[in-house]
Amino acid sequence: MDLRATETGDTKDVATVGRLRDTEMDGMEDVATAEHGSNIQNISSAMKLVLETLGEDTSRDGLRKTPERFAKAIVSLTSGYNLNPVNILKDAIFEEDCHDLVVVKDISFSSLCEHHLLPFFGKAHIGYIANGRVVGLSKPARVVNVFAKRLQLQERLTKQVAQCLFDVVQPRGVAVAIESTHMCMAMRGVEKIGSSTMTTCFLGEFEKVGDAREEFWRALGK
């Protein structure tokens, strides 16, 4: 079905198209839980004011539900504030005769830059040198998700992931490298589409440049 509006002057047809678009978009929106109801209402009211300040008509079909959609989206994108990454790790630590490097790489993530509320996204790579204990393989990725679902700086995100793993799992060392693309560089300011940023954090035995770091970079193909 072609739902594109044409300049026919038939307002009834355009309105129908708008309602169909609303239905399709509602199906793709994150469902906000009841506990966030008041937050969603407050954010929705604020976004409605922003749109009206820009000169938009928030009663037209294309924008009628936009404030609420935005509110649900921002609540979902910052859901990490309600999660404790320590609990994710501590229930999945296993005693094991392992003292070698464990690497989980290419962990995809997305987050919001706290400066402009624009997305940045990419991949995180995590390595740790076990000290007789290992953590479930999915848990480092879950820790990345928890910290990424907050207003962030890439530098802080990198350090938070590394420090959390180091404190809770207590390995001999932790290495975290994050590569990402920032929309605040691509869509505004210098407008450099295709640029990327890498940040690292090394703790424990990784702090000194040496065999441990080299093994980590080799595992990443760097």
CATH number at residue 39: 1.10.286
Pairs from 139-147 (Cβ < 8 Å, separation ≥ 24): 139/88, 139/89, 139/92, 140/104, 140/107, 140/165, 141/104, 141/107, 142/85, 142/88, 143/85, 143/88, 143/89, 144/107, 144/109, 145/80, 145/109, 146/80, 146/83, 146/84, 146/85, 146/88, 147/80, 147/85
Which residue out of 56, 184, 207, 215 is catalytically annotated? 184
pTM of the model: 0.82
Considering the domain architecture, whether residues 202 and 107 belong to the same structural domain is answered as: yes
Considering the domain architecture, whether residues 71 and 155 belong to the same structural domain is answered as: no
* Rounded distance between C-alpha atoms, residue 86 and residue 147, angstroms: 11
Comparing CA positions, the residue from 220, 81, 73 lying closest to residue 145 is: 81
Which residue out of 24, 41, 115, 214 is catalytically annotated? 115
The residue from 77, 109, 128 where one domain ends is 77
How many domains, the chain? 2
Which residue out of 113, 125, 152, 201 is catalytically annotated? 113
- Whether 200 maps to a domain, the answer reads yes
Q: Is 99 a catalytic residue?
A: no
pLDDT in the model for residue 218: 98
Which residue out of 29, 52, 98, 116 is catalytically annotated? 116
- Whether 1 maps to a domain, the answer reads no
The residue from 60, 77, 94 where one domain ends is 77
- Whether 90 maps to a domain, the answer reads yes
Which residue out of 160, 182, 201, 205 is catalytically annotated? 182
* Rounded distance between C-alpha atoms, residue 25 and residue 222, angstroms: 41
Could you list the residue range(s) of the whole structural domain that residue 111 is in? 84-219
Q: What is the mean pLDDT of each run of 10 residues along the chain (222 residues)?
A: 36 39 44 68 98 98 98 97 97 96 98 98 99 97 99 99 99 99 93 94 97 97 91
Q: Is 116 a catalytic residue?
A: yes
Which residue out of 154, 160, 164, 205 is catalytically annotated? 154
Q: Is 113 a catalytic residue?
A: yes
Contact predicate 134/102, CB 8 Å: yes
User: What separation in angstroms does the CA of 142 have from each of 6, 139, 156, 213?
Assistant: 46, 5, 17, 24
Considering the domain architecture, whether residues 55 and 95 belong to the same structural domain is answered as: no
CATH assignment at residue 98: 3.30.1130.10
Considering the domain architecture, whether residues 123 and 31 belong to the same structural domain is answered as: no
Residue identified by tokens 């929106």 is 29
pLDDT in the model for residue 190: 87
Q: Which residues contact 7 (CB under 8 A, 6 or more apart)?
A: none
Q: Is 154 a catalytic residue?
A: yes
pLDDT in the model for residue 24: 43
Q: Is 201 a catalytic residue?
A: no
